[in-house]
């Protein structure tokens, strides 16, 4: 039997959507107000879904006492109250769109054991959310 567990985490961060390879006019046209030179912030919510068999000894697929500190260290502490463009190395040359943020969070969490990371969903606003789902048949632990 395979069971899924979804846990919600929150952090606040700022970013500017700006691609160095585009002109100022193109950046403004593509990113609009999100291209503000001073940046802007969001209160992000991250939903982490793990899947796996239920351990017969514990009755759980993952111990929240292990999962929570793992996510806190690799995501919440890493991103909370940070300027993604300036303080997160992975976004120095990559536009920190929420799509890219979602992919980076997935990359940072895929080594959690014993359950397998199935999906990461990042809610940027009440209107926007982005989700990455592990490829069927592929190990998210690669």
Domain that holds residue 9: 2-133
User: What Cα–Cα distance (Å) separates residue 63 from each residue in 25, 44, 66, 81?
Assistant: 50, 24, 5, 27
**Segment 63-103, tens digit of pLDDT:** 999 999 999 999 999 999 999 999 999 999 999 999 999 99
How does pLDDT run across 19-60, given as a tens digit for each residue? 999 999 999 999 999 999 999 999 999 999 999 999 999 999
Active site residue 34: yes
Is the pLDDT reported for residue 140 higher than 80? no
| 81 tagged catalytic | yes
User: Which residue in 24, 40, 66, 81 is the catalytic one?
Assistant: 81
Give the count of domains, the chain. 1
Q: What is the pTM of this model?
A: 0.93
Q: Are 120 and 109 in contact (CB under 8 A)?
A: yes
Catalytic residue among 42, 124, 131, 135: 124
Active site residue 135: no
Asked whether residue 139 is domain-assigned, the answer is: no
Residue 78, domain CATH: 3.30.479.10
Residue 141, in any domain of the structure:
no
């Amino acid at each position: 039997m395979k069971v899924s567990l979804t846990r919600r985490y929150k952090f606040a961060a700022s970013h500017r959507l700006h691609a160095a390879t585009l002109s100022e006019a193109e950046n403004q046209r593509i990113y609009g107000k999100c291209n503000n030179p001073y940046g802007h912030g969001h209160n992000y919510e991250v939903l982490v879904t793990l899947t796996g068999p239920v351990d017969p000894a514990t009755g759980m697929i993952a111990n929240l006492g292990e999962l929570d500190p793992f996510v806190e260290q690799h995501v919440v502490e890493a991103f909370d109250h940070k300027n993604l463009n300036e303080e997160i190395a992975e976004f120095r040359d990559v536009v920190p769109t929420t799509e890219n943020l979602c992919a980076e969070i997935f990359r940072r969490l895929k080594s959690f054991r014993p359950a397998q990371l199935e999906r990461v969903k990042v809610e940027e606003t009440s209107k926007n959310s982005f989700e990455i789902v592990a490829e069927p048949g592929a190990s998210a632990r690669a």
